[in-house]
Structure 1
Amino acid sequence: MAFWWKKTPKTASDYARLLSEQLNKFDNASASDSRRKVQDECSKYLSGIKHFLLGDVEPEPSCESVDELYDAIYQLDILHDLLAKMPELEFEPRKDVALIFATCLRRSRDNKFVTVDYLVTKPQTLSLMLRTPELALTKPNASDLFLKSGSIILECLKYEQLCRMMLRDPQLWVFFDLARGGSFEVSTESLQILTSFFTVHHKLVSTEFFSHQANLQKLIDKINKLMAHGNYVTKRQSVKLLHSLIMIRSYNQFLTTYINSPENLKLIMILLSDRSKNLQMGSFNIFKVFVANPRKSKPVSDIMVKNRDKLLHYLASFNADSKDTTFLDEKEYVVQEIESLPRLVSPNSDLTLGTSPQNRSTIE
């Protein structure tokens, strides 16, 4: 990189200015040759900015020149333009864009994250950032573009100020649809983004997001839909996300709402008997919370009472070959709690527990 730097001696702000000019040229670059030239120029300046910010050029850039580059990035609204034109860039430049975002976000001065403070004043940039993955699916090389734009969102969600603003954006809910209906890469990345939304900044989510009952119930409905109708990977990751949420201490309002719903219990009991052992274990970790709740709602308690014998029969052979002492202790506790329930026989049923056609039990 040193030879290129010496061959093209420009000030730090020139790189931002020249990149901005090239990004704007995409709007008029209709011919393939013209578009290719703009792509090449963008690639060159992006590479230069990346190496400049990382400090791996010769001579090593001074603090003043680095500050000059950052100031130019902010003044020219480069971060917004990079998101807007990201579909026009090729594979390697997209990687540079993601790296530049991550590097800029980490910039600290006087104990403040300067780029984070800047983005707080640019809600349109954050809104575009959240829309970019969905827009990516309409472009060539959709998966790569989706993953690169998703990685930028994940970097932003590390910072509470930005997470707060993004939690208020309705585009958040679109990631549940993408998780359910997308390819393996899209589904996995969407669920990773959703997990970061709700598990990185506990206090923020608890006090500002879950304080709205509509948000709380909508989140439960969305997760349940993924667990009920998603493919195997989506179900497994959704169960894992749900377990994470109910285990976060400050999310008591989420926990209480979830485990007092009979419909939620029915869904978890169905997943408990899934053919996949991973899904069975993930669901057991949620089911045991229903059982351990000392203040069960009457509808939840009624379901457990009606299915007491069927649950005991199922749990008798559930993961019987496990040597995990923690699991065995938890299973013993669950069995004891269910055994303590009143014994009741009910002839009616509407759901199934158990996957064997020869021995299919029912949830009532």
Structure 2
Amino acid sequence: MSFSFFKPSRPKTPQELARAIKDSLMALDTITVAEVKALDKALEEVEKNFVTMRLMLSGDGEAEPNVEQVLQLTIEICKEDVIALFIHKLPILGWEARKDLVHCWSILLRQKIDSIYCCLQYMENHLELLDFLVVCYDNKEIALNCGNMLRECIKLPSLAKYILESPSFELFFKYVELPNFDVASDAFSTFKDLLTKHSTAVSEFLTAHYDEFFEQYEKLLTSANYVTRRQSLKLLSEFLLEAPNSHIMKRYIVEVRHLKIMMMLLKDSSKNIQISAFHIFKVFVANPNKPRETKSYLGKKP
């Protein structure tokens, strides 16, 4: 007969887990970097709670998650303002904790309780959190984690629309050319999603901010960076030739400055860029209502 002096710990309820996560994240406020051991211990507690959260939300590989517990945890996380802590504490979390948080984030955003997406509603009431995630591209340690979380948010029309119209959107023109290739590539993936996931919101945004947007976009098309030129040219053809953006395209192809850029890209040393530029150039040529300036420029000898 075997005896155990320790009883196995009782699994936390969703309410207890949400409170434990909140307490462990808030405890990080009271820890200074000088107190290295105390900080390490506090971060370990956060990691332990995040592992428990991940198991409750997605199961352990053998048993499926309990649907009622998942919904209850989602409710409690919103009620306790844990989402704001998730985002604001990202810069000081460890690698494992950030990885678990990103995994849980996509699950939480999808939870629907009585016809309401609880976490979506929370984010709509705290839109400044989206700006915080965008600005985090400046921190290469957490940039990729924030990028993943942002792209999950961008799947939701109201959140994508907010980012498009926020002053923080302009930062993407800088982020896509950051010297760190991984961060720049991730920023471009987010930038692309913003301009392609929700055609109606994009059309409204481009209509309202046409001049400012294309002034910035022109810098990407003429960038000294080959990857930036190629990606931005390909993306331009994707959103410009979308049916809801037909009025934007008609406006774009009557401006000779855009034609000049396409003709310059036709001479690029990269065949890929030449081909992509040609697809857009054809639209300028096929336009039956070409302005006189465009006709004159097309008629010039190279």
Match for residue 256 of structure 1?
250
Q: Aligned equivalents of 2:214 and 2:289: distance in 1?
A: 20
Q: Aligned equivalents of 2:73 and 2:61: distance in 1?
A: 14
Q: Which digits, 9 at most, give the CA deviation of each residue in 1:75-117, with x for residues without a partner?
A: 1211211111111111121111111111111112344433212
1:176 aligned residue (173, 177, 181): 173
Match for residue 162 of structure 2?
165
SS at match of 2:281: helix
Q: Which digits, 9 at most, give the CA deviation of each residue in 1:238-265, with x for residues without a partner?
A: 0011111221011023212221111111
1:29 equivalenced with 2:25 (yes/no): no
TM-score (norm 2): 0.91
Structure 2 residue identity aligned to 1:54: S
TM-score (norm 1): 0.76
1:147 equivalenced with 2:153 (yes/no): no
Gaps of 5+ in 2: 1-7
Match for residue 74 of structure 2?
70
CA distance 1:113–1:179, change in 2 (3 Å): same
CA distance 1:8–1:222, change in 2 (3 Å): farther
Structure 2 residue identity aligned to 1:114: C
1:209 equivalenced with 2:205 (yes/no): yes
Gaps of 5+ in 1: 1-5, 137-141, 311-364
Count residues with an aligned counterpart: 293
2:99 aligned residue (95, 98, 120): 95
Contact residue 71 and residue 111 of structure 2 kept, 8 A: no
1:132 aligned residue (128, 136, 150): 136
Contact residue 79 and residue 101 of structure 1 kept, 8 A: no
Match for residue 299 of structure 2?
305
Q: Aligned equivalents of 2:291 and 2:184: distance in 1?
A: 34
CA distance 1:283–1:211, change in 2 (3 Å): closer
Q: CA deviation at 1:57?
A: 7.8
Pairing of 1:196-345 with structure 2 (within 5 A) = 196-206=193-203, 208-212=204-208, 215-307=209-301, 310=302
Q: CA deviation at 1:61?
A: 5.5
Q: Which digits, 9 at most, give the CA deviation of each residue in 1:144-177, with x for residues without a partner?
A: 5111101111111111121122222110110111
1:107 equivalenced with 2:98 (yes/no): no
Match for residue 195 of structure 1?
192
Q: Which digits, 9 at most, give the CA deviation of each residue in 1:14-33, with x for residues without a partner?
A: 11211111111222222111
Structure 2 residue identity aligned to 1:280: Q
Q: Aligned equivalents of 1:126 and 1:97: distance in 2?
A: 16
Q: CA deviation at 1:180?
A: 2.2
Structure 1 residue identity aligned to 2:42: V
CA distance 1:60–1:255, change in 2 (3 Å): closer
Contact residue 236 and residue 279 of structure 1 kept, 8 A: yes
Q: CA deviation at 1:189?
A: 1.4
Q: Aligned equivalents of 2:230 and 2:66: distance in 1?
A: 49
Q: Aligned equivalents of 1:182 and 1:169: distance in 2?
A: 24
Q: Aligned equivalents of 2:68 and 2:109: distance in 1?
A: 18
Q: CA deviation at 1:60?
A: 5.9
Over aligned residues, Cα RMSD in angstroms? 1.9
Q: Aligned equivalents of 2:245 and 2:103: distance in 1?
A: 33
